[in-house]
């Protein structure tokens, strides 16, 4: 029944399997490993910024630049995407009642591109910053680091296109004939939406990467002004992929909250229709706002207004998700086990991140916040506050189903409190740092700016608290997956009622659903 526990298998059987739960497990474990690796880099960055003007911990700016570049790339491409794909692999076939993903071998190939892409990013350790704006990345960034990054991202891009195709075909074509699309659970809807978005968004960046590479080789000059090119072209191609990509990272986390919240509220979801509508709306509107990353590049007034409207238009749909969650929890007998805590914390932080985002999109305010720590705080509130909270909650939720054992609830509680506290302390403080004018991606700052020093130190202490929370998570994952109490597989969280899918995953026909 439960795969890893009841039938202990040698690890290569899982590694070379094409079954969707095995591939899902590989994705999730890989993603979480990269989360811890990139988390160590983040701790280094924050610890370094504790003391201004002292070369503390990181002794030169090149190393610092490399560290924040690889931190960003890893968190986005090797943590956020793989974990979403992992949970998606695990649950989507079960939710649409099919025996596996549509193309199991393609699925395994898409997964195995991740470690390879990851190895290229980490062995190269590029210093271009994750956006790798031209012409810096063309004329100044040292090779082979930047070239390895380009190849690594290329491979990861192909991987995400392959897995998107797989999800789309699985959901639309392999769905059980008795199951109408509108009855498909919302997590599967979120995977469908982001897969379609990936197919539209990713090619633009894939093209930009090839142009970047040929520019670096000197055979073309797409983005190099001295060869007749235009750096702004790179920015458009880049943000046309990566603004939608924001939603590609975000929506699976929202989908996971749709799994967790009704279950722990012991109440049906307020409205499935509104959830589907909001997913599809975000999927469409996500493509109308990439220009708000470029207000200050010399964009004319009308273009700025158009992109501001496109950006603001995404807010009502995000608000519908929040409303849906709150209305579901309203008057419910909620059981605050770890998954529910993380989901609710994630919603609160999603709301505050979104509110900050509205201010960013307002043109005059963007000129205050853009390129400062405000933006760092804002996008980390989404990535840590919403996406990581949703993912962590879902990992705790899946924990008994995957391992057959229970995590330690007390430790999970410590993890939750430290993670919430830390997230608020680091990233809210970074918003204030931005208002004080501190630019992002700086190795050092003048010690005579007293407010910068204070706020940086507050943020760094917050980061340590956040990091401490993840130590608790690591203990839960490593120790309690093999030594924890055996879980009651019918009702591991004591919610009453019967459980549906995850533990029936090994049953080829998923009749248990």
**Residues interacting with another protein, by CB under 8 A?**
61-62, 65, 127, 129, 133-136, 139-141, 225-226, 229-232, 271, 274, 296-298, 301, 304-305, 308-309, 312, 315-316, 319-320, 323, 327, 358-359, 361-365, 367-368, 370-372, 436-437, 439-446
How many Å apart are CA 235 and CA 293, to the nearest integer?
A: 9
Residue placing its CB nearer to another protein in the complex, 123 or 358:
358
Is the alpha carbon torsion for 82, 376, 430, 247 positive or negative? negative
Residue placing its CB nearer to another protein in the complex, 81 or 145:
145
Contact (CB, 8 A) for 215 and 224? yes
State the DSSP H helix or E strand holding residue 51, giving kind and residue range, or none if neither: none
Is the alpha carbon torsion for 118, 257, 192, 243 positive or negative? negative
Query: Contacts for 218-224 with beta carbons within 8 Å, 24 or more apart?
Result: 222/134, 223/134, 223/135, 223/138, 224/134, 224/135, 224/138, 224/139
Provide the minimum distance between the beta carbon of 53 and another protein in the complex, in angstroms, as a whole number: 11
Provide the minimum distance between the beta carbon of 243 and another protein in the complex, in angstroms, as a whole number: 18
How many Å apart are CA 179 and CA 160, to the nearest integer?
A: 27
Backbone angles phi, psi at 372, to 5 degrees: -110, 180
Provide the minimum distance between the beta carbon of 371 and another protein in the complex, in angstroms, as a whole number: 4
Structure tokens at 90: 């695990």
Contact (CB, 8 A) for 407 and 396? yes
Whole-number Cα distances in Å, 45 to 39, 159, 179, 180, 269 = 10, 29, 49, 49, 41
How many Å apart are CA 240 and CA 289, to the nearest integer?
A: 8
* Short-list 279, 282, 302, 278, CA closest to 291: 302
Residue placing its CB nearer to another protein in the complex, 268 or 508:
268
Provide the minimum distance between the beta carbon of 227 and another protein in the complex, in angstroms, as a whole number: 10
Say how many residues make up the chain: 513
Provide the minimum distance between the beta carbon of 467 and another protein in the complex, in angstroms, as a whole number: 24
Provide the minimum distance between the beta carbon of 339 and another protein in the complex, in angstroms, as a whole number: 25
Provide the minimum distance between the beta carbon of 438 and another protein in the complex, in angstroms, as a whole number: 8
**Burial track 397-412 (b if 16+ CB lie within 10 A, e otherwise):** bbbbbbbbbbbbeebb
Residue placing its CB nearer to another protein in the complex, 450 or 511:
450
Residue placing its CB nearer to another protein in the complex, 131 or 388:
131
Number of H helices, E strands in the chain: 19, 0
Provide the minimum distance between the beta carbon of 142 and another protein in the complex, in angstroms, as a whole number: 10
How many Å apart are CA 195 and CA 102, to the nearest integer?
A: 14
Residue placing its CB nearer to another protein in the complex, 225 or 484:
225
How many Å apart are CA 474 and CA 159, to the nearest integer?
A: 27
Structure tokens at 256: 């996971």
Provide the minimum distance between the beta carbon of 372 and another protein in the complex, in angstroms, as a whole number: 7
Alpha helices in 330-362 (DSSP H): 338-361
Provide the minimum distance between the beta carbon of 15 and another protein in the complex, in angstroms, as a whole number: 38
């Amino acid at each position: 029944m439960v795969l890893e526990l009841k039938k202990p298998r040698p690890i290569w059987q899982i590694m070379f399997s094409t079954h969707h739960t095995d591939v899902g497990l590989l994705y999730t474990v890989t993603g979480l490993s990269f989360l811890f690796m990139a988390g160590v880099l983040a701790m280094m960055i924050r610890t370094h910024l504790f003391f201004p003007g002292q070369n503390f911990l990181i002794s030169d700016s090149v190393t610092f630049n490399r560290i924040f570049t690889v931190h960003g790339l890893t968190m986005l491409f090797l943590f956020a995407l793989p974990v979403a794909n992992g949970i998606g692999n695990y649950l989507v076939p079960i939710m649409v009642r099919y025996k596996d993903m549509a193309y199991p071998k393609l699925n395994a190939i898409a997964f195995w591109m991740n470690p390879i892409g990851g190895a290229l990013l980490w062995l190269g350790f590029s210093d271009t910053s994750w956006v790798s704006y031209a012409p810096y990345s063309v004329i100044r960034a040292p090779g082979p680091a930047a070239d390895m990054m380009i190849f690594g991202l290329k491979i990861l891009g192909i991987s995400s296109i392959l897995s998107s195709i797989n999800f789309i075909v699985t959901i639309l074509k392999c769905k059980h004939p008795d199951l109408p699309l509108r009855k498909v659970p919302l997590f599967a809807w979120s995977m469908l939406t982001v897969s379609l978005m990936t197919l539209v968004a990713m090619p633009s960046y894939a093209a930009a990467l090839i142009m970047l590479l040929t520019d670096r080789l000197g055979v073309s000059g797409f983005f190099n002004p001295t060869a007749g090119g235009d750096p702004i072209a790179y920015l458009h191609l880049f943000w046309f992929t990566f603004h939608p990509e924001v939603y590609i990272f975000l929506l699976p986390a929202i989908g996971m909250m749709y799994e967790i919240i009704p279950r722990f509220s012991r109440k049906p979801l307020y409205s499935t229709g509104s959830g589907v509508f909001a997913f599809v709306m975000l999927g469409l509107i996500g493509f109308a706002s990439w220009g708000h990353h470029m207000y200050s590049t010399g964009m004319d007034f009308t273009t700025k207004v158009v992109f501001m409207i496109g950006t603001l238009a995404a807010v009502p749909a995000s608000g519908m998700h929040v409303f849906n969650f709150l209305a579901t929890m309203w008057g419910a007998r909620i059981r605050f086990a770890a998954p529910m805590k993380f989901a609710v914390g994630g919603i609160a932080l999603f709301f505050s991140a979104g509110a900050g985002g509205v201010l960013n999109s307002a043109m005059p305010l963007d000129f205050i916040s853009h390129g400062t720590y405000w933006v760092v705080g804002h996008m980390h509130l989404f990535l840590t506050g919403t996406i990581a909270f949703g993912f962590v909650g879902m990992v705790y939720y899946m924990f008994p189903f995957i391992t057959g054992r229970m995590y330690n609830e007390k430790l999970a509680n410590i993890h939750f409190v430290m993670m919430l506290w830390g997230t608020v302390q680091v990233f809210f403080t970074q918003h204030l740092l931005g208002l004080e004018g501190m630019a992002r991606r700086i190795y050092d700052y003048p010690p005579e700016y007293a407010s910068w020093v204070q706020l940086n130190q507050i943020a760094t202490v917050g980061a340590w608290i956040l990091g401490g929370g993840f130590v608790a998570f690591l203990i839960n994952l490593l120790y309690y997956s093999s030594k924890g109490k055996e879980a009651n597989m019918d009702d591991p969280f004591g919610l009453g009622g019967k459980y549906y899918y995850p533990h029936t995953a090994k049953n080829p026909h998923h009749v248990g659903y």
